[in-house]
Amino acid sequence: MDRWPKDVGIRAIHVVIPSLYVDQTDLERYDRVSEGKYTVGLGQKQMGFCTDLEDVNSLCLTAVSQLVENNGLSYSDIGRLEVGTETIVDKSKSAKTVLMKLFEATGNFQVEGIDTTNACYGGTAALFNALAWTESSAWDGRLAVVVAADIAVYAEGGARPTGGAGAVAMLIGPDAALVVDRGLRGTYMNHAYDFYKPDMCSEYPVVDGKLSVECYLNALDRCYESYLSKCRDGGDDVRGGLDRFDSFVFHAPYCKLVRKSLARLCANDFVHRRGDESGWPAPELRERLRLRPAALLDRDVEKTFVERSAAVFADKTEPSLALASRVGNTYTASVYGGLASYLMSVPPERLAGKKIGVFSYGSGLASSMYSVRVVDNNGLSVLIGNLKKGFDRLGQRTRLTPEQFADVLDVRQKCLHRAPYVPTGDRDRLFPGTWYLSRIDEMRRRYYERKE
Amino acid sequence: MDRWPKDVGIRAIHVVIPSLYVDQTDLERYDRVSEGKYTVGLGQKQMGFCTDLEDVNSLCLTAVSQLVENNGLSYSDIGRLEVGTETIVDKSKSAKTVLMKLFEATGNFQVEGIDTTNACYGGTAALFNALAWTESSAWDGRLAVVVAADIAVYAEGGARPTGGAGAVAMLIGPDAALVVDRGLRGTYMNHAYDFYKPDMCSEYPVVDGKLSVECYLNALDRCYESYLSKCRDGGDDVRGGLDRFDSFVFHAPYCKLVRKSLARLCANDFVHRRGDESGWPAPELRERLRLRPAALLDRDVEKTFVERSAAVFADKTEPSLALASRVGNTYTASVYGGLASYLMSVPPERLAGKKIGVFSYGSGLASSMYSVRVVDNNGLSVLIGNLKKGFDRLGQRTRLTPEQFADVLDVRQKCLHRAPYVPTGDRDRLFPGTWYLSRIDEMRRRYYERKE
């Protein structure tokens, strides 16, 4: 047994969304900004949020327990569990250790993995680690679970409507319905202060919006070229560029950036003469971009590619934005919410054989591009059936006013460091089966309960 | 190529220790505690510490740059770099991304891995991830680097003398001199509030000292039995118990706990009738412990095993405490400082063939036990030669008074969240080749320079 098992990848996915949301048109009015600034300018419809009843630990507890229950697993089937998050509530104790409460009844304490952090990239790092574990000599034949969970909140101002909250839990193992392509991975890491959280006493990040978009799009270019060069090394013909993907999903800080990102990949194909050239801009533009790649950020150039890629976007990427547009940015969970959204958008009988490109970005910065093949096995229909349970919650949420939303964020920020503390949020509004923070004691220990 | 490469493990180690230290006898007098409370009661001789010139990023920069230089590597030889730490200075941006500055000149930005956190366990999680990566389909043939770095400081009081600071960087790959045994890994994870850092505005942890010792020793029992059962599954005869190890190294919060831990393993062997039984306590005690395992914590029982295991301790574990006793607790780096200390204690020509047991513990809690075989190849003498460079610093440090030490910690705590900020520590006292924090700007971005 010194070989990798077959078809290692994602065997199940579960998404957790907050039970509360605010409408972005309501927010536009409340913030007295021009109509469409959030809904068209950012491409956001609604934003999910949590009261002080939920923190990163409770989100992870909800995601993992529902993943296990929906898939009829025992906690003793799990040999590895890793959490990706940037919503840190303790500088030392990992969310993973809080999750071990769930394993207690089965007596399974042999569960590798802890937490991993770099902005929105933690879920991807956790996934990569789980895949490698399954292929390594440390694998004990059991399944791995990866959880990506975050609460994205911003100080009052321009970035606030780009918040969100949520979690995605994934079951990793061999014979998966979503097989991660081996050896096809482009990674780009660099040192940048585009978005970071240096104020340990606040939930809010420091954001350099313009720099962050530049860093994101540059990382996208680098990962795409690196991904394609790995394909070439493996003997693939990459002259089709994006044609090789049935879908492409992106980390989604807000949907408009994803729109630009898909256009950016098309621009890369154009510059490198990949894919169908009919209907694309004149060769003069190609020469201009070759001489000055930074011109891709010029407004007219970007607009050209956004317009010309409209059909590709509608086909390959727009379906992946269902959660992102209605829940907002879920940081580490965002790109996996995108993957889940795409899977839900295709009739199950037509999913097998689909090839999905994935781009994960975390400010600071860490980014990777890889691909997933949907494989037709019994697990596929179960995966889709279970995934639907999380999506059904979208229509069952409570819409609050911008005033109520602002109040909730005020409470969160003010009580962030209070101890002892009993959360004041309304438990009645939580979905059944949700874990919540019941209290923080005078030693700042956190206690959790589950809503029936 | 779907097989694991040969002899995957640690190819090089570099330790970084602070240039400043305080003597524990001086501290005893300053704290007006009984003579020997720290030196005998805790087993500590000296404690290393850092001024405000050093943070987790600078420690990692120093460790990685010196590892690369000492071993004649290029930054383009590295395909993965992961940091284990619990000294978080940003809730989102990883130390790993700051380290990417070092890679800039070579144009190598394809470097997987971010930061991983659970108390003192982060270095071990990073090591396990690096080993798995090297055995996985994601491996691109390059080397991995693991950095464990922390600054351990405590509020005034009983725990303060158990601080420390330091970093260990390790080069991971095939054909290693320190081969990590495949499939032999015992892991125990659980939910506990024994030591944690819920106050995000402070560098200091909350510690339940008694609970932490209980959690540590219980985790040790569980990992040992699990490790041995993996050995049995692989066909090994485990009746010799600890005899199978030439050395056993432990995470060292303070040296006295390591002394008790070695005794605890001996007690486990006694209870399960492993190893040489001559000279051990009467069988009545075995029966008592079988009926009530918690009796292992009874003072008289513990004393019995500490006394009877004196020779085993002197042989297998005491040599691993060179750094721990003179630098203190380095959290994630501690157990790797223990491994390095053992390697330095054996004449190089007698190292080959040695089998080293490793126990890693992080509060919260996460723990693992595994083993390393020293393999005689060309890399071994280079590893030892380079390792010595870090150890030579022990004799070149500056001894400060307890008053000066307390002042340094006051400055650290007061300035932790100040921005803009220019550190006030004395650069002249840093060792040559040390990276340090030169300033924090008004946007809380951190800038680093290197001392010539």
Asked if A419's CB is within 8 angstroms of B191's CB, the reply is no
Chain segment B105-118, per-residue pLDDT in tens: 999 999 999 999 99
Q: Which of B8, B91, B334, B413 to mutate to test the interface with A (most CBs of A within 10 A)?
A: B91
Q: Which of A363, A196, A192, A223 is nearest to B99 (CA)?
A: A192
pLDDT for res A377: 78
Give the SS3 label for residue B275. coil
Q: Enter the ipTM.
A: 0.97
CB contact under 8 A, A198 and B131: no
> What count of CB pairs under 8 Å joins A to B?
252
**Chain A neighbours among B 130-149 (CB < 8 Å)?**
131-133, 135-138
The dihedral over CA atoms of A257, A259, A263, A268, expressed in degrees to the nearest 10, equals: 50
What is the structure's pLDDT at A12?
Answer: 98
Residue A92's Cβ-count burial label (10 Å; 0-12, 13-18, 19+) is: buried
A87, A114, A205 ranked by CB distance to B366: nearest: A114
From chain A, pick out residues whose CB is under 8 angstroms from the CB of B122: 114
> By C-alpha distance, which of B164, B324, B314 is closest to B252?
B324
Q: What pLDDT does A2 receive?
A: 65
Looking up tokens 């750094």 gives: B323
* pLDDT score of B273: 92
Q: Where are the beta strands (DSSP E) in A57-122?
A: 78-84, 115-117
Does B43 have pLDDT greater than 90?
Answer: yes
- Catalytic hit among B50, B60, B120, B266: B120
Q: Tell me how close the Cα of A111 comes to any Cα of chain B, in angstroms.
A: 6
What is each CA distance from A65 to A70, A73, A97, A220, A450, in whole angstroms?
8, 10, 14, 34, 10
Question: Chain A residue closest to B443 (CA)?
Answer: A206
B68-113: pLDDT as tens digits? 999 999 999 999 999 999 999 999 999 999 999 999 999 999 999 9
Q: What is the pLDDT of residue B1?
A: 55
Q: CA-CA distance, A183 to A192, in Å (whole number)?
A: 27
**Who wins on pLDDT, A280 or B196?**
B196
For position B416, what pLDDT does the model report?
83
d(CA A61, CA A100): 9
Q: How far apart are CA B447 and CA B445, in angstroms?
A: 7
For residue B96, the chain A residues in CB contact (below 8 A) are 118, 189, 366
| Structure tokens that stand for B42 in this block | 């805790």
Contact B109 A444 (CB under 8 A): no
| Surface of A (395-424) touching B: CB under 8 A | 417, 419
CB contact under 8 A, A90 and B197: yes
**Share above pLDDT 90 across residues of chain B, in percent, rounded to a whole number:** 94
- Which tops the pLDDT comparison, B290 or A123? A123
Q: Which of B187, B189, B211 to mutate to test the interface with A (most CBs of A within 10 A)?
A: B189
Question: Which residue among B82, B86, B203, B318 is the active-site one?
Answer: B86
CA atoms within a 13 Å half-sphere pointing along the CA-CB vector of B64: 30
Please confirm, yes or no, whether B120 is among the known catalytic residues: yes
* Angle, in degrees to the nearest 10, between helices B299-308 and B283-291: 130
User: Of A10-19, B200-209, B416-425, which one has max mean pLDDT?
Assistant: A10-19
The predicted pLDDT at position B2 comes to 65
pLDDT digits (tens, 9 = 90+) for A373-387: 999 877 999 999 999
Q: B363 — contact with chain A (CB < 8 Å)?
A: yes
DSSP string, A169-216: EEEEESS-SEEEEEEEEEEEE----SEE---TT-SPPEE-HHHHHHHH
Task: Using a CB–CB cutoff of 8 Å, tell me whether A362 touches chain B.
Answer: yes
Predicted confidence (pLDDT) at residue B129 exceeds the cutoff of 90: yes
Q: Which long-range contacts (CB under 8 A, 24 or more apart) does A378-385 make?
A: A379/A11, A379/A12, A379/A175, A379/A176, A379/A177, A380/A177, A380/A348, A380/A351, A380/A352, A381/A348, A382/A12, A382/A71, A383/A10, A383/A11, A383/A12, A383/A13, A383/A177, A383/A178, A383/A343, A384/A343, A384/A344, A384/A348, A384/A351
Can you tell me the mean pLDDT for B384-392?
97
The pLDDT assigned to B125 comes to 98
| Token pair for A79 | 């040999």
Is A6 in CB contact (< 8 Å) with chain B? no
CA dihedral of residues B53, B57, B60, B64 (deg, nearest 10): -100
The pLDDT tens digits of the residues spanning B397-414 come to: 999 999 999 999 999 999
Q: What is the pLDDT of residue B3?
A: 82
Q: What is the mean pLDDT of each run of 10 residues along chain A (452 residues)?
A: 87 98 98 97 98 98 98 98 97 98 98 98 98 97 98 94 98 98 97 97 94 97 98 94 97 98 96 83 86 91 94 98 98 98 96 98 98 92 96 98 97 91 97 98 98 95
Q: Does B92 touch chain A if contact means CB atoms closer than 8 Å? A: yes
A90–B198: do the CB atoms touch at under 8 Å?
yes
pLDDT at residue B429 is higher than 60: yes
